[in-house]
């Protein structure tokens, strides 16, 4: 027993020293939980198609966390690819540059639709950004004045909506989805409801105007969900009249439990999102370190495989899972831009 | 005497019963109440445990069953190696169109028209996409199989698996579910023919992570957890025991040792994510160790477990009666001989119990692993603790966030596996204590 323990200890110690010297032979990816399922499918298929390379490791954790790891520097102890459900921010590019990551390639993989859904047992729901704004904003306009949101039931917002208490499960601040929700729904609804003009008259600063438009009520009718869509699904299961925000792919996987709402009369589907008819969608990206290309085996091949039509095309496994493919011309452009080595 | 007389007079005025009342009834009642509280606390605890275990088991036992489809696959040379290049070009066998073999076999079995593509696609969708690698591995392992027809057991696609287990509500409109009516008909047809059936799911133990639920397993996570537990055991047991022996037996009692003791007790209560931050800063960013590796995870969990082991070991050493030490010293043993020959063996059951509880605690941790990159999708098995891997609780967490219905049962299945490990570890702790415990 003693001898065994000693040998194991020696092995661990030697492994610890060898570890700093051993080269990494595996692509490492981190970032957005929205991109994660797509990246997983690509990584797995990549590993099966290219037996010479190891299957890339895909970490979860969120767009911001992934980009932070990405911008730590260049070298084998840093990740190669950061998945992101939003565009990289200027401040993040600067942080990258300060740490020596000067060459970043941006790759768009397609679009993701954001849908509103309620329990499958409910009646059909036709939403407009205006409805959601009125139901969920912290302050709304009543008789030309900004007042704390007085609405308690959906039917008070609009007669076409159900006669049920307002309960909405929206993505929390740490999610990239929240930004899209604010931009495409709340800000839009703010405009439609005519609240923007009233706010403009009251506040002069443009940033504050927008902040007032997208401020969500805090009286418990709008619930921030910091977890994943599974949590939103569980909330809807326990509160049947609640409305939740989901990714299109998540909805499609649970279409037997959920009823999707139309937005401006358009049913969300990969077709209506690709054509731009359905208003709430966003592009998905990943970012690659050029300095790691040729150093980490399989990195270049992984990226090329990812943006190939067999992965992100209209009949690909990613599209089947719920990714909205970019139009043909745009996909061609994405590939050309990567080939040319265009950098941010 | 008059002083004494007056109380007797007073007492005699009261009835005899009250004189003897020393609160006996009240005290018995209090005791009964206290016992009732205790029993109700235990019953409540057991109730919650029963609810937890029964929900996990009722949701998760199906994860240990997997629907498979056994088809006679014709390893046709026309498909695998049409130009007969396999002797010269090794790639030929790797890149061959294996899904076509499955398609042909299924079309034949169901008697479909191979030219009707949407129909054939629906049929092939019933079989897991992992069939490609499965068939490839068969051919690569034994190329002489080409040209023969061999029955191969393939995994059914996850939605078919769920439907066959009755987890999909087929009364929902066809467009709103992943399994189509035609597929259900085929499924029943194949089941009647004995081709499609459920059997024990060994894959959940042996497969790595996968985006396809039917091909996903906790294999990589098990290996990762095993590596980490070994590292934690090998590092934290000697360090923890050495530290506590010194602190308990040799160190002078002064302000410094008091301060150390307070700090150790505090460290035992520090949230585990803090150790993750520390591990990221020290082991990965400073020492340059690889991300996502079980080695770093093991180091981080060692730091987390050390305070628990030190506290348990010190308590065990303290429980050894001083008479043992005095006797040994009196017979001429040195201090070190006293400790290693007499005190430590007597304290061993307590130390091992503390170690196992610390290990069990470390086995269930996810938070510190998040920051060092072990909450990850890892397909390849780690050959050493330096290669990327995950851990059991991480796998549970990642499956819980998946959108596919089939991952629901797998999440509970993985919880059952983790619980079984924990039960065995705690059982081991109890057995060790029973076996070696000595009472004075």
CATH (domain of B226) = 1.10.3720.10
Q: Indicate the DSSP class of residue A182.
A: I
Record: contact A256-B288, CB cut-off 8 A: no
Per residue in B197-216, pLDDT tens? 999 999 999 999 998 999 99
pLDDT digits (tens, 9 = 90+) for A294-326: 889 999 999 999 998 888 888 888 888 888 888
C-alpha B83: how far from chain center: 49
For A48, the closest of B133, B178, B288 (CB atoms) is: B133
State the DSSP string of A292-333. GBTTBTTHHHHHHHHTSHHHHSTTSHHHHHT-BPPPHHHHHH
Residue B182 and residue B230 in one domain: no
Q: Provide, rounded to the nearest whole percent, the portion of chain B with pLDDT above 70.
A: 95
Among the candidates B173, B201, B229, a domain finishes at B201
What is the dihedral sign for C-alpha B83, B88, B93, B96? negative
List phi, psi (to 5°) of B128.
-60, 145
> Where among B137, B171, B201 does a domain terminate?
B201
Task: Give the range of the structural domain holding residue B231, as residue numbers without chain letter.
Answer: 219-436
Closest CA–CA distance from residue B188 to any residue of chain A (Å): 21
Q: How far is B30 from chain A (nearest CA, A)?
A: 42
Residue closest to B365 by CA, chosen among B397, B328, B411: B397
- Domain assignment present for B324: yes
- Report CB contact under 8 Å: A57, B377: yes
Same domain assignment for residues B197 and B224: no
Judge if B286 and B339 occupy the same domain.
yes
* B377 to A60: CB separation less than 8 angstroms, yes or no: yes
- Report the b/e string of A184-218 with b at 16+ CB within 10 A: bbbbbbbebbebbebbeeeeeeeeebbebbbbbbe
Which has more confidence, B73 or A174?
B73
State whether residue A221 is helix, strand or coil.
Answer: coil
Residues B226 and B195 in one domain: no
Helix, strand, coil percentages (3-state) for chain A, rounded to 5, are 45, 20, 35
Q: How far is B28 from chain A (nearest CA, A)?
A: 46
Position B53 in a domain: no
Predicted confidence at residue B77, as pLDDT, reads 84
How far apart (Å, rounded) are the C-alpha atoms in residues B95 and B99?
11
H-helix segments, B2-23: 2-13, 16-20
ipTM (interface predicted TM): 0.81
Residue-range domains of chain A with CATH: 22-111+283-340 (3.40.190.10), 113-281 (3.40.190.10)
User: Quick count: other Cβ atoms within 10 Å of Cβ B158?
Assistant: 24
Same domain, B190 and B243: no
Residues B248 and B152 in one domain: no
Same domain, B252 and B172: no
Do B193 and B311 fall into the same domain?
no
Q: Do A28 and B388 touch (CB under 8 A)?
A: yes
Which residue of B169, B287, B370 is in closest CB contact with A256? Answer: B169
Q: Does residue B332 belong to any structural domain of this protein? A: yes
Total domains in chain B come to: 2
A30 touches chain B (CB under 8 A): yes
**pLDDT score for B52:** 94
Mean pLDDT over residues B40-58, rounded?
Answer: 96
Query: B196 lies in a domain?
Result: yes
Reported as a single tens digit per residue, the pLDDT across B259-298 is 999 999 999 989 999 999 999 899 988 888 888 899 999 9
pLDDT at B12 over 60: no
**Are B281 and B323 contained in the same domain?**
yes
Domain termination residue (choose one: B169, B201, B233): B201
| Phi, psi angles (nearest 5°) of residue A331 | -65, -40
The pLDDT value given to residue A204: 77
Same domain, B195 and B263: no
Residue of A49, A57, A60 best to disrupt the B interface, most CBs of B under 10 A: A57
Q: Do B401 and A230 make contact, defined as CB atoms within 8 angstroms?
A: yes
Residue B353 shares a structural domain with residue B233: yes
Q: For the residues A99-119, what does the mean pLDDT come to?
A: 90
Q: Does residue B25 form part of some domain?
A: no
The rounded mean pLDDT for chain B is: 88
Structure tokens at A24: 């990494």
Is residue B152 assigned to a domain?
Answer: yes
pLDDT tens digits, A136-161: 888 888 877 888 888 888 888 888 88
In a domain, B271, yes or no: yes
Find the mean pLDDT for residues B143-161: 90
How many A×B Cβ pairs under 8 Å? 126
Residue B19 lies in a domain: no
Let me know whether B100 and B164 are in one domain: yes
The answer, yes or no, to whether residue B174 has pLDDT greater than 90, is no
Give the gyration radius of chain A's Cα atoms. Answer: 23
């Amino acid at each position: 027993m003693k001898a065994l323990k000693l040998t194991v200890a020696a092995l661990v110690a030697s492994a610890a020293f060898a570890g700093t010297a051993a080269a990494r032979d595996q692509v490492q990816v981190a970032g957005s939980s929205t991109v994660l399922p797509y990246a997983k499918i690509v990584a797995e298929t990549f590993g099966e198609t290219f037996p010479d390379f190891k299957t890339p490791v895909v970490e979860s954790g969120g767009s911001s966390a992934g980009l932070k790891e990405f911008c730590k520097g260049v070298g084998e102890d840093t990740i190669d690819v950061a998945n992101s459900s939003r565009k990289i921010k200027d401040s993040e590019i600067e942080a990258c540059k300060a740490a020596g990551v000067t060459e970043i390639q941006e790759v768009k993989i397609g679009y993701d639709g954001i849908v509103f859904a309620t329990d499958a047992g409910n009646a059909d729901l036709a939403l407009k950004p205006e409805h959601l704004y009125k139901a969920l904003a912290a302050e709304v306009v009543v008789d030309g004045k900004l007042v704390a949101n007085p609405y308690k039931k959906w039917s008070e917002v609009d007669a076409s909506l159900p006669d049920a208490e307002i309960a909405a499960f929206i993505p929390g601040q740490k999610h990239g989805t929240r930004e899209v929700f604010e931009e495409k729904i709340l800000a839009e609804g703010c405009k439609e409801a005519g609240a923007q003009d009233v706010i403009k008259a009251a506040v002069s600063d443009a940033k504050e105007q927008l902040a007032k438009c997208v401020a969500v009520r805090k009286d418990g009718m709008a619930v921030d969900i910091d977890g994943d869509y599974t949590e939103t699904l569980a909330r809807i299961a326990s509160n049947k009249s609640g409305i939740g925000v989901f990714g299109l792919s998540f909805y499609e996987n649970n279409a037997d439990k959920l009823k999707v709402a139309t937005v401006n009369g358009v049913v969300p589907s990969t077709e209506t999102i690709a054509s731009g008819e359905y208003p709430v969608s966003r592009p998905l990206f990943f970012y690659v370190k050029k300095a790691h290309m040729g150093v980490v085996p399989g990195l270049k091949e992984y990226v090329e495989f990812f943006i190939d039509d067999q992965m992100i095309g209209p009949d690909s496994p990613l599209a089947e899972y719920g990714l909205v493919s970019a139009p043909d011309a745009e996909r061609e452009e994405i590939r050309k831009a990567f080939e040319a080595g265009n950098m941010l | 005497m008059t002083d004494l007389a007056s109380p007797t007079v007073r007492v005699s005025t009261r009835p005899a019963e009250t004189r003897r009342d020393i609160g006996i009834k009240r005290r018995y009642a209090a005791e009964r109440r206290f016992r009732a509280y205790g029993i109700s606390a235990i019953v409540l605890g057991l109730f919650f445990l029963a609810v937890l275990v029964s929900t996990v088991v009722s949701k998760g036992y199906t994860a240990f069953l997997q629907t498979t489809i056994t088809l006679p696959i014709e390893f046709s040379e026309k498909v695998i190696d049409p130009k007969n290049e396999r002797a010269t070009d090794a790639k030929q066998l790797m890149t061959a169109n294996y899904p076509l073999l499955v398609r042909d076999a299924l079309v034949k079995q169901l008697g479909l028209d191979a030219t009707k593509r949407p129909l054939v696609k629906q049929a092939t969708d019933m079989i897991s996409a992992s069939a490609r690698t499965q068939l490839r591995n068969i051919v690569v392992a034994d190329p002489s199989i080409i040209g023969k027809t061999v029955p191969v057991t393939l995994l059914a696609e996850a939605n078919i698996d769920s439907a066959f287990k009755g987890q999909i509500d087929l009364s929902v409109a066809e467009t709103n579910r992943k399994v189509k009516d035609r597929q259900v008909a085929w499924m029943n047809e194949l089941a009647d023919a004995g081709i499609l059936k459920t059997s024990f799911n060994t894959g959940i133990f042996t497969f790595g992570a996968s985006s396809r639920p039917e091909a996903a397993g906790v294999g990589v996570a098990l290996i990762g957890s095993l590596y980490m537990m070994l590292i934690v055991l090998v590092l934290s047991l000697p360090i923890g025991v050495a530290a506590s022996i010194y602190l308990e037996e040799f160190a002078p009692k002064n302000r410094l040792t008091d301060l150390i003791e307070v700090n150790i007790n505090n460290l035992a209560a520090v949230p585990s994510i803090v150790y993750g931050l520390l591990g990221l800063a020290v082991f990965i960013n400073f020492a340059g160790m690889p991300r996502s590796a079980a080695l770093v995870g093991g180091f981080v969990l060692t730091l987390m477990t050390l305070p628990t082991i030190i506290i348990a070991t010190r308590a065990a050493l303290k429980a050894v009666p001083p008479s043992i030490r005095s006797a040994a010293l009196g017979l001429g043993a040195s201090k070190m001989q006293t400790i290693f020959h007499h005190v430590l063996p007597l304290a061993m059951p307590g130390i091992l119990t503390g170690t196992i509880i610390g290990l069990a605690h470390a086995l269930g941790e996810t938070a510190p692993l998040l920051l060092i990159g072990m909450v990850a999708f890892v397909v390849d098995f780690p050959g050493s603790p330096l290669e990327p891997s995950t851990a059991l609780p991480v796998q549970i967490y990642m499956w819980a966030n998946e959108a596919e219905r089939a991952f629901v049962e797998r999440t509970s299945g993985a919880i059952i596996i983790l619980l079984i490990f924990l039960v065995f570890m705690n059982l081991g702790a109890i057995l060790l204590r029973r076996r070696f415990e000595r009472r004075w």
